[in-house]
Amino acid sequence: MASLTKRNGYYSIVFKSTLNGKSYKKTYALGTKYKKIAEQKKLEYEKLYDAGQINPFDDNWNLQDYEKEQELEGTSLTSPIINTLQKQFLREKTNVTEKTRRTYKYIIRQFMDQVGHSMPVTMIDANDIRSFCLRPKLANASKRNYLKHLKAFFNWIVEKEVLEVNPCDKVGLPKTRDNLVDKIIDEEELNEIFKKFKAYQKKHQKSGAISTYEQKQHWFIPLITLAFYTGLRRKEIIQLRWEHVNLKNRFLRVTDTKNGYERTVPIFDKLYKELSKWHKFNGKPKKGLVFPSPRSIPNGELAMMGDNVSKRFKYYATEEAKLKDSIHFHGLRHSCATFLLRNGFNVIEVKNMLGHKSLEVTNKYVHLVANDLLNTASRNGLIKSQVG
């Protein structure tokens, strides 16, 4: 019989035997800190020992050497392991963008860090998936994203006939209230944010607390205005170039998109006003980043840090303007979709402008303007009274 011991976080297997009244013991490091892997190896080595295929008490036998030999022969005890399969999966995943490949790699590696890189996939169950994807600290969007990518990975493993059933199939996401409305602001709230931003800057510039170009954050109003009225993603904004902005004909082109498709977005009057001022403020450049980092130097243009943009918006929106704590920079994209629908754009137009992959994504905003539809119907005499 064998048993397991743990020292400094790592497991070892201990073989014990009695011969002619004398006790013998041999201990071998298993090289893993994961209990599930250690228990599986223990069972396998017990079977081999009972069958007489290994003799752990032989001074010429070594567990590490044995495993290396088995791996070279393609008969490793723990084959197929998740680390080997994820490498093959990523090599074969050629029908996706490089960004998507990186996302798969990141999520699968995070999962492997939890279950063990040498974990046999046959030992992974729904509980492993659930404990990784449904961690309390994760946002609901992250939970869905993690589960979606792991499900695709394990579907591939099933197709390779390594597994019969995808362990992700037994994992359901908790039903949560759609709180999209809490992430949206309207024009009045947008103007309140700008009002508080100006007051904050005026107060602290007067006191001398704000004095440098970087601290004055000249980019804030034009960038946030662009985000609200175009619905561009944060990455699309910080990578937007003047070569792709046509102020004369009132449109801009988004070339580096999430889905890989270029799109054209109109420049509305309020954005045109702010963007024209920003263009003039920067010397009317014909090329280069629209919003370069304040730390850029001549002949050394730097892109703004996306996290810094989000943090500054979050601060002025929630700390200064006292809006809901659920307001975040990405909510400006949701706000734009709602703004467009309220101003007569149909779902196809909103889908194209925001670069949504499908109408299903765009349709989630439609119910947010339901009250607007009721108000319009009431004004037109189509609803004279409501039964309550």
Span 156-171, average pLDDT: 91
Is the distance from CB of 17 to CB of 57 less than 8 angstroms? yes
Q: Is a pLDDT exceeding 60 seen at residue 178?
A: no
- φ, ψ of residue 216 to 5 degrees: the values are -75, -15
The predicted model gives 13-37 an average pLDDT of: 84
Residue 154's nearest CA partner among 84, 100, 162 is: 162
User: What pLDDT is attached to residue 387?
Assistant: 46
Please compute the mean of the pLDDT values over residues 291-302 and round it to a whole number: 84
Q: For the residues 238-267, what does the mean pLDDT come to?
A: 89
210-228 core/surface letters (b: 16 or more CB in 10 A; e: else): beeeeeebebbbbbbbbbb
Work out the pLDDT band at 367, boundaries 50, 70, 90.
confident
Q: Say how far residue 380 (Cα) sits from the centre of its chain.
A: 45
Whether the full predicted model's pTM is greater than 0.85, yes or no, is no
The residue among 19 and 226 whose pLDDT is bigger is 226
Residue 227 to residues 62, 240, 286, Cα–Cα distance (Å): 63, 12, 21
User: What is the model's pLDDT at position 371?
Assistant: 64
* Distance of alpha carbon 210 from alpha carbon 317, whole angstroms: 19
C-alpha distances out from residue 131 to 103, 128, 154, 167, Å: 19, 5, 16, 12
Q: What is the pLDDT of residue 259?
A: 66
Provide the pLDDT for residue 73. Answer: 55
Q: What is the CATH number of domain 82-170?
A: 1.10.150.130
Q: Which of 22-26, 36-40, 81-85, 310-314 has the highest mean pLDDT?
A: 310-314
Cβ count within 10 A of residue 292: 19
Closest to 27 in 3D by CA, of 7, 47, 52:
7
Q: What is the pLDDT of residue 335?
A: 95
Report the C-alpha gap between 32 and 38 in whole angstroms.
Answer: 7
- Spatial neighbors of 377 by CB under 8 A, at least 6 apart, are 383
338-356: average pLDDT: 91
Nearest to 226 by CA among 342, 333, 348: 333
The angle subtended at Cα 137 by Cα 120 and Cα 238, nearest 5°, is 100
pLDDT of residue 388: 45
CB 35 within 8 A of CB 59: no
Region of residue 322 (left: phi > 0; alpha: psi -120 to 50; beta: else): left
Dist. CA 223–CA 275, nearest whole Å = 8
CATH architecture designation of domain 182-378 = Orthogonal Bundle (1.10)
Structure token pair of residue 330 = 């990405």
Residues shown for the chain: 388
Decide if pLDDT at 171 tops 90.
yes
Q: Count the Cβ atoms, other than its own, within 10 Å of residue 204.
A: 14
CATH 1.10.443.10 domain locations along the chain? 182-378
Q: Contact at 8 Å (CB) between 171 and 130?
A: yes
The string of DSSP letters for 124-136 reads: --HHHHHHHHT-T
Residues of each domain in the chain carrying CATH 1.10.150.130: 82-170
Tell me the mean pLDDT in the region 169-177. Answer: 78
Phi, psi of 334 (to 5 degrees): -65, -40
In the three-class reduction of DSSP (H, G, I as helix; E, B as strand; rest coil), residue 94 is classed as: coil
First to last CA, the chain: 74
> Looking at the predicted structure, is the pLDDT value of residue 385 above 60?
no
